[in-house]
Amino acid sequence: MLKRLVLSLCLFALLSGFALAQNIADDTSNAPRPVKLVPLPPPGPVYIRCGALFDSKSDQLQQNVVIAVEHDRIKQVGKLSPPAGAQVIDLSNLTCLPGMVESHTHVFLQGDRKPGQYDAQLLKQSVAYRAIEATTAAHAALDWGFTTIRDLETEGAGYADVDIRNAINNRLIWGPRMQVVGRAMDVTGAYPLQPAYAWDVTVPIGVQTVDGVEGARKAVREQLSHGTDWVKVYADRGGKIHDNIFDTIPTFTLDELRAIVDEAHRERHRVAAHATGMMGVHDAVEAGVDTLEHGNYIAPEDMKTMVAKGIWFVPTPYVAEYDAQWRAERAGTQPQETPGLKIEEATFRRALQAGVKIAFGTDVGAFEWDMSPARQLVTMVKWGMTPAQALRTVTIRGAELMEMQNDIGTIEPGKYADIIAVQGNPLADISLMQKISFVMKGGVVFKK
C-alpha cells in the first residue's frame, strides 16, 4: 500500500515537472529575441547574368551564362532568358565562380607570427573579446569570397568557435559556412604558452593537453561532446633542416595518435593533423589521419601512403612567404627564398606529380585577416598548378574535403547558391581572386 502511494506520488511529481517544463517552453511571448543581421533569401527566382562563368567542373570559362536561384539553391544554369519583370542581378561585366572554400583558418587569431602577438591574445584578451574579433574575421572571410571555411582551432578560446558557427547558422551574424575543431590537442610541454614562461608561473595553453592512450580517447569524447565537427592534433613541433629534409620532433606516440583517430572515426568524425616535417608526417599518415596540414616536407614513401589511404594534403605555402616578407621589411632588405621554402616548394611539386589530393588552406589568422587568403593561389600557380587546378582546390576540392560536395563547390542545379564574381579572367591572372566584387551565400547577397 505504502509502496503504491510512493509510486503514485513519484509519478505525479514527474508529470507536473514535465507540464511545468512544457509551459516554460511554450511561453515564448517574452523570450529575448536576438537581432538577426542576415535576412532570409528571397523566394525567387532571381536571375544572375554572368559575363563569364567558371563552374569548377570545366577547365574553360563559359561566356554569357545565367544562373537562376530559388530560395537558397541554384535552380538552373545556362543560356536562360529571364521572363519580363523578373528580378535580375546584372554581373555581365564580371566572371562568376563558386564561393571559395578555405580548409585551414583561425578566426580566433588576428596575426601570430610577429614577436608577442600570440601571447598577447591569450594573456591580455578575454575569450569574450576574442569572440568579437572572431566575428569580424568571419565577416572578413565572407568579404574575401570564402563562403565556407574549416576553422582549425581557437588557440585558447575553448569551444567559442562552435558558438561562432552556430551564430552564423542562426543568421545572427554574417559569415561563411563553418566546420570547427574547438580546442585541438597536444602533449604535455609541447604547446605555447607553457614552455615559454617561468616554471612557477601558471599561463594558459593554446590547446588541450592530452597524454596516454586512455587520455586520448577521453579527450576525443569530451571535445566532440561540445559540438565540434573535427578533431585536430599537433603531430609534431620544432624542426631542423638536414640533407634537404625538414625533420621535426613527434609529439604523440603512434599508439596515442592511433587511439585518437580510432575514437574519432568510431564516433563518425574525422581528424586533421598539423604535421610539418618528416617524423610528424610519417606518424600522422601511419595513424590514418584524414587531412595533413602544412606538410612542409613529406617523405616519398609517406606520400605513397597518402595516395593509397586517400589522405588530404593542405599545404600552407603563403604563410612562409609572409614570414620572409616581414622579416625583410624589418631588416630593410629584400625577402630571401629560404631553404625551408625551397623544401616546401619541392614537396608541393612532388605531391602534385604523385596525385595526392590537395585542398586550399592558408592558416589565415597566423597572418592578419585584412589580407585576402586567396593570395596563396598565386604561389600555388607559381609552384606548378594550372590556374584551373588551383581554382578547383579552393572550390570543389575543399567541398570534397569537408564532405559537402553535394551542396557546394561547383555551380550547378541543386547546390547552394554560393556564388562570387570577379572582374576579368582569373584563368589568365589568378591574382584577381584577391579582389572579389560580388558575394552571394545561400541565395542572400552579401556584397555587391
Binding stretches for Zn ion (CB under 5 A)? 152, 363
Which grid coordinates belong to 190? 609541447
- Tell me which residue has cell 577521453: 218
3-state SS assignment for residue 263: helix
User: Angle at the Cα of 431 (from 428 to 434), degrees rounded to 5?
Assistant: 135
Beta-bridge mates of residue 67: 48, 77
- Rounded to whole angstroms, the Cα distance separating 383 from 378 reads 9
Nearest CB to Zn ion, comparing residues 139 and 150? 150
119 burial via Cβ count (<10 Å: 0-12, 13-18, 19+): middle
Rounded to a whole number of angstroms, the minimum distance from the CB of residue 37 to Zn ion is 28
DSSP for 397-443, written as a single string: HHHHHTT-TTTSSS--TTSB--EEEESS-TTT-GGGGG-EEEEEETT
- Rounded to whole angstroms, the Cα distance separating 3 from 8 reads 9
Q: Given CA atoms 113, 150, 44, 173 in this order, what sign does their dihedral have?
A: negative
Nearest CB to Zn ion, comparing residues 152 and 210? 152
Helices (H), 144-192: 160-169
State phi, psi for 165 to the nearest 5 degrees: -55, -45
Which grid coordinates belong to 86? 523578373
3-state SS assignment for residue 299: coil
Q: Output the furthest CA–CA distance in the chain (Å, rounded).
A: 93
How far apart are the two ends of the chain, measured CA to CA in Å?
A: 75
Rounded to a whole number of angstroms, the minimum distance from the CB of residue 293 to Zn ion is 6
Rounded to a whole number of angstroms, the minimum distance from the CB of residue 248 to Zn ion is 15
Contacts of 195 (CB under 8 A, 6+ apart): 189
Rounded to a whole number of angstroms, the minimum distance from the CB of residue 365 to Zn ion is 7
Rounded to a whole number of angstroms, the minimum distance from the CB of residue 80 to Zn ion is 42
Rounded to a whole number of angstroms, the minimum distance from the CB of residue 117 to Zn ion is 14
Rounded to a whole number of angstroms, the minimum distance from the CB of residue 235 to Zn ion is 13
Rounded to a whole number of angstroms, the minimum distance from the CB of residue 225 to Zn ion is 23
Nearest CB to Zn ion, comparing residues 186 and 363? 363
* 184, 207 Cβ separation under 8 angstroms: yes
Nearest CB to Zn ion, comparing residues 65 and 314? 314
Q: Which amino acid is at 378?
A: V
DSSP for 216-227, written as a single string: HHHHHHHHHHTT
Nearest CB to Zn ion, comparing residues 303 and 319? 319
**Residue facing Zn ion at closest CB distance:** 363
